[in-house]
Chain A
Amino acid sequence: MRSQFFNKKREGKVDSSGNSAIYKFTLLFLGWIVIFLILLVKSETASSALSHPVLLIYTIFVTSFQLSRVISAMLYRAPTGGGTCQASDFEPTVSIVIPCKNEEASIEKTVRSSFAAEYPSEKLEVIVINDGSTDRTGEILQNLKKDFPHLVVLDWKVNQGKRHGMYAGFTVATGEIVVQLDSDSYFEPHTFREIIDPFRNPRIGAVCAHADPENADTNMLTKMQAAYYFMSFRILKAAESTFQTVFCCSGCSSAYRKELLMPILKEWLDETFMGLPVTWGDDRALTNWVLKLGYDTVYTDKAKAYTICPDNLKQLLTQQVRWKKGWMVNSFFASKWIMKKHSFVALTYFFPLILVTVLAPFMALNALVVGPILDGHNPVYYFLGVILVASVITIFYRYVSRENKYWPYMFLWSILNMFILSFVLFYAVVSIQNRKWGTR
């Protein structure tokens, strides 16, 4: 069932444009009902919060912020670079850079699918950095070289870290566009052109592809992450892309204009935070550099990639801690210049997001633990509020992709997020000086 479904999807036969009017109308109707219910829940907070005006302002602010993301996402249009999408007149040289370490299980598939990309092979180069692997990765790469003469392998005996790997890859790359691909990720070959096409627009410095977990059906946790990935790419990154400011072109599948990066690459490599080198959030840091240089970054839902997501809670938490740390450090850096370069986005999204992310765990703590114990408040309204906002997102989710079957897990994810993941921030703050990579 699953592989059939995926095959279908990869063939691009199911498209959101095929949704019937009744389906859209039903979702729209549901959306209004949910908005109405949100107002009811908020009014309950309002009636009891008249003595707590700060709480009321917070709850209105957060809900508005979350819904404003949906609005931004609704305004999103896939970047076309100004030309017609299928035209082949825009074919710059492309280098795919794949840093890897101990990836014997997946590296072959990654390399093979890279070469399978629907792109003129003479304009495509694949660079794999074997960053001190201790397993059979090196051997597999040597074998692959026989099949693909255009494969460049940088074989490092000593591990230097992903950022160094990327740096080396970018340096040796000859293409105008550098596609950065994680060692466990791969593109859908026929959508590869979509990630290159936006570069027609000279203002665009980086493009982020859409990524879904390949191991989505492994267990409940991966299903929840499948929903989360879809939401964070197709809704949150799309919302950022509406304003041409995607803050994180995901490490698993993004493309950069090489000429932009070369002057700052060394600086990016040597970034430190509180005296120590930054080992995580390299993708986010690179994207921020593009933004800092004054170029646009966009997300395209037409280029599709697959990656592997953690299948147990411990790995998920480690990954979340790493991402939160990356977000914190890069938000800290970006906050210095974001007003100058992208003031509208800074005011409507960047700073509010920081506020929400910082306050959310405290408010959750207050609504779920402190309030019920000290004041006897009923936490059910907070809970309902979270679920209803998740419902709005889910309705939009269904609207943009009727075929993605993981949408029910959106609710589970928001519960997980409310009870566990939002508190990861605390741990991330405390352990900010731990620069270890952590997973995998």
Chain B
Amino acid sequence: MTKIKIRFYFSVFAIVLIFGMAYGSMNIQKLVIPGYQSALLTQKEFFYRFATSEFKLSQIASVFNGGWRTEDFEYISKKHQAHAIPVLVYHGIGESVDRFTFSPEGFFDHMNALKREGYSTISLEQFRDWMISGKDVPERSIVVTFDDGRRDSFIEAEPILRALEFRATMFIATGFSLNKRFENSPYYLNTREVAKMIESGRWEVHSHGIQKYGGMIDTDVGKGNFLSSKRLLNDFGRMETDIEYAERVHSELYDSKRDIEETLSNKVFAFSYPFGDYGQQTKENSIAEPTIRSTLIESGYRIAFRQTWENEAEYSWNSRNDDPFLLKRIEPSPSWSGSDLISFLAVGETKLLPLSDSFAVNKGWRREWGNMEISNNVLRVVASTTTTGGSTFLDGTQHWKNYRGTVEVVNDPLGSISLVARYGDAGEGVQCTFDEFGVRIVERDQDVRVVIAEQSSKGTYIPKHGDMLGIATLDDRVVCEVNGIGIVGTTTSRTVAGGFGISVWNKEKGVATLALRSFSAEQVSELAIPVVSASEAEEVNNDRKEEEGKEDVGQVSSGGVSPEVVLPAQPDVVAPEEVVVNEPLPVSPPLSLLDGVPHVVDVADPLPWELISGTISATSDGLRFQPISTSNAMIATLIGSQEWKDYEIRTKVRLENGTTTSVVVRYQDKNNYMECAFSKGARYGSATLYVIENGTRTALFRSPRLIFSGETPTADIGVRAKGTEVSCLFNGYPAITYELPRVWRSGAVGVRLWDSLKGHAQTDVLEMKVTSLSR
């Protein structure tokens, strides 16, 4: 060979070598994935198994050196069935750690800690069957999920899961992971890899949507989450219509499920809300939440996952009571160590009855509102500087049903104390409220508090240092107890299981304070509703409650209650009424209310009014309603209106600050009627719908803030009563609409005033008009 030839051959070989080397080392993993990856996986798995072996050795060693402690293995033996199951959500695992990316070591630390604490992962199928079909799984079961279908999380998690014999669920975006265009994406899993995952039997694959237009889409107000926002159609220069939006949601949910099922022959029943947004985050699109939910159900999903965050007052584990389409997932932070994760899970750990807590450590009490702290064996619930109260609940108690919860008070509380039983995620429950006005049982549903029974003590009882306060529930019965003695009891419609909470409330901000030394809870199998003494029988008629308690309380529909308006039970509006009883009422001749012809009340003449108590006098521009000087309240009805059925009253009134002005409807007698009570502060006010039955006043619903226009104290208020539906009108629009089937279909209309100062209440009625609604 000549010199030139040799040089030529050598150069060709060398160039092939260098480029082959470079290309090969970058791409060979892809070319030969099966063998190579499994070899690497096996090797990594070996390392991880080795890393766990120390613990296994210590377990074995502890048997021989007598160091066996039963409590260490209590959970490993799995005596009990799970009452609640935590679900974890991870995103990525890679070398560069960020908010959504764990290091492999960090993830291993988490999984290894779970293993050591006796947790074992269950499949999503088992979880679904537990949740929906009521099949049992052992305690300390946990579900590990991954969002986004990231390649790195599969590659790094796989050997860890193998080594620990754990399993996981991956939620993939089919627009990336089942899309040929992204086959070589280093970020997303591709079809082949997803198929391998399913084949392994260790992974389940479910939907995270298609994400056809990516995770974030253009809207008219900037970027929005793709599933819950309407899309800005740039070509048309307009937003999607409701129908177009619904179709897109259908495609995202149904098509992604179908694609996974067809491509991978894997049954899809679970969805993970991208960004944890099931519609609640996107205020601009009010149809998002119902559309997503109904489409999920139509598409055949059985469960759907969102995220919870540490500062949200929710039980951190999922129980069977929970909404299967709003399942909670804990999102561990990459900054948590394995033991951090364990202590976070311990908060939500299922608490079994009986339980006693002397507040040496925090066993799972979580702040809901205001401030809460546990120190020096005292649980302190206080208002923050900006709140009128504080509340806390015990995480892991959501499965409790028939139990007695007792607290020992170690201060003279500043404010009303409430013990909440059957406490649910949205703050619903049934509570016993203890304060200087007595003891009340209140049903709470998010922001609404309805008094269902009370024992008025009028200052004779004030919760004080050393008192043992309790609430006991058995099926539909609720009893409030002070120092072990039942004070008031009734039946409640809230019969589902729910945990225990405590709250304290005061009118003044930053004042409410409650300190507790101990809490104990025990199973209740017998519970008698206390008999109320004869003098109080008038106010609380237990027999009636027994009969009617099981009836449907009715449906609430409100024009959207803004979450910042927190309305704890307010004793001031439920003040006892002092009534000046006149001679027996004469039966007035009926006044006809014709269709289409409004009945206009003459505001210059007090004569058409029948005074139950108080006075009415004519002024220059209307009628002035006032109580007598020794009374807080007055009430008057329109003579002849007692047969009226379906009507709308609108009245223009001049309101005084502090006076509650009510428009009364369905008036039967002074112990049975309904009213819309409007009260006004400096700028804001509210409307509350009450029903008074046999003298017991119950708040059915309270409106969100109403804005009363500045200087002029006049307001346009009213009531629309039609059949069983009653609306409180403000400026002609319903602020509250409530359906209460058990009340009267007809009754007189009237006006009632109340003020906390005797003889102080005063309202001028400037206009009043009643229109028939019957047709």
Contacts and interface: CB of A to CB of B under 8 A. Distances in A.
Interface of A: 36, 39-40, 42-48, 51, 56, 59-61, 63-64, 67-68, 71-72, 75, 77, 242-244, 344, 348
A75 B9 contact: yes
Interface in B19-41: 21-22, 24-29, 32, 36, 40
B24 A67 contact: no
A39 B24 contact: yes
A77 B1 CA distance: 9
Choose among B10, B95, B96 the residue with the greatest number of A CB atoms under 10 Å from its CB.
Answer: B10
Contacts of B14: 64, 68, 71, 348
B63 interface: no
Contacts of B22: 60
A46 to B, nearest CB: 4
A181 to B, nearest CB: 30
Contacts of B6: 75, 242-243
A39 B30 CA distance: 12
A60 B96 CA distance: 24
A60 B21 contact: yes
5 contacts: A45-B25, A56-B25, A75-B10, A242-B10, A243-B10
Contacts of A46: 25-26
B607 interface: no
Contacts of A47: 29
A203 to B, nearest CB: 10
Given A36-B28, A71-B17, 20 more contacts: A39-B21, A40-B28, A40-B32, A43-B24, A44-B40, A45-B25, A46-B25, A51-B95, A56-B25, A60-B18, A63-B21, A64-B17, A68-B13, A68-B14, A242-B6, A243-B3, A243-B6, A244-B3, A348-B11, A348-B14
B754 to A, nearest CB: 73
Nearest to A378: B47
A245 to B, nearest CB: 11
Contacts of B180: none
Interface string B62-103: 000000000000000000000000000000000110000000
A60 B13 CA distance: 15
Given A60-B18, A75-B1, A77-B1, A68 B25 contact: no
B683 interface: no
Nearest to B14: A68
A63 B25 CA distance: 11
A331 B27 CA distance: 37
A402 B17 CA distance: 26
Given A60-B21, A64-B18, A77-B1, A43 B7 contact: no
B29 A43 contact: yes
Contacts of B7: 243, 344
A43 to B, nearest CB: 4
Contacts of B10: 68, 71-72, 75, 242-243, 348
Q: Which 9 A-B pairs have the closest CB atoms?
A: A42-B25, A39-B24, A46-B25, A64-B18, A43-B25, A71-B13, A43-B28, A39-B28, A60-B21
Q: Is the interface of A mostly helix, strand, loop or mixed?
A: helix
B66 to A, nearest CB: 37
Nearest to B4: A344
Choose among A39, A46, A47 the residue with the greatest number of B CB atoms under 10 Å from its CB.
Answer: A39
A64 to B, nearest CB: 4
Nearest to A66: B17
Contacts of B36: 40
Contacts of B17: 64, 67-68, 71
Contacts of A56: 25
Contacts of A42: 21, 24-25
Contacts of A40: 28-29, 32, 36
A64 B165 CA distance: 42
B95 A48 contact: yes
B26 A43 contact: yes
A436 to B, nearest CB: 40
A39 B25 contact: yes
A128 to B, nearest CB: 38
Contacts of B28: 36, 39-40, 43
A48 B152 CA distance: 13
B54 to A, nearest CB: 18
Contacts of A64: 14, 17-18, 21
B701 to A, nearest CB: 60
A46 B36 CA distance: 14
A28 B17 CA distance: 16
Nearest to B32: A40
B415 to A, nearest CB: 56
Choose among B3, B21, B29 the residue with the greatest number of A CB atoms under 10 Å from its CB.
Answer: B21
A71 B9 CA distance: 9
A112 B100 CA distance: 80
B249 to A, nearest CB: 38
Contacts of A60: 18, 21-22, 25
Contacts of B21: 39, 42, 60, 63-64, 67
Contacts of A72: 10
A39 B25 CA distance: 5
A205 to B, nearest CB: 16
Contacts of A61: 18
Choose among A51, A61, A71 the residue with the greatest number of B CB atoms under 10 Å from its CB.
Answer: A71
Contacts of B95: 48, 51
Interface string B670-685: 0000000000000000
A296 B18 CA distance: 28
B18 to A, nearest CB: 4
Contacts of A51: 95-96
A164 to B, nearest CB: 37
A45 B1 CA distance: 38
A241 to B, nearest CB: 11
A63 to B, nearest CB: 6
Contacts of B13: 68, 71
Nearest to A44: B40
A67 B6 CA distance: 16
Contacts of B18: 60-61, 64
Nearest to A239: B10
Nearest to A344: B7
B153 to A, nearest CB: 16
B718 to A, nearest CB: 70
A344 B32 CA distance: 37
Contacts of B40: 44
A71 B7 CA distance: 11
A59 B36 CA distance: 20
A56 B21 CA distance: 11
Choose among B26, B27, B95 the residue with the greatest number of A CB atoms under 10 Å from its CB.
Answer: B26
A107 B245 CA distance: 99
Contacts of B24: 39, 42-43
A274 to B, nearest CB: 35
Nearest to B39: A40
Choose among A43, A45, A244 the residue with the greatest number of B CB atoms under 10 Å from its CB.
Answer: A43
A47 B10 CA distance: 29
Interface in B311-359: none
B19 to A, nearest CB: 9
Contacts of B9: 75
Choose among A40, A61, A72 the residue with the greatest number of B CB atoms under 10 Å from its CB.
Answer: A40
Nearest to B27: A43
Contacts of A68: 10, 13-14, 17
Contacts of A75: 1, 6, 9-10
Contacts of A48: 95
Nearest to A242: B6
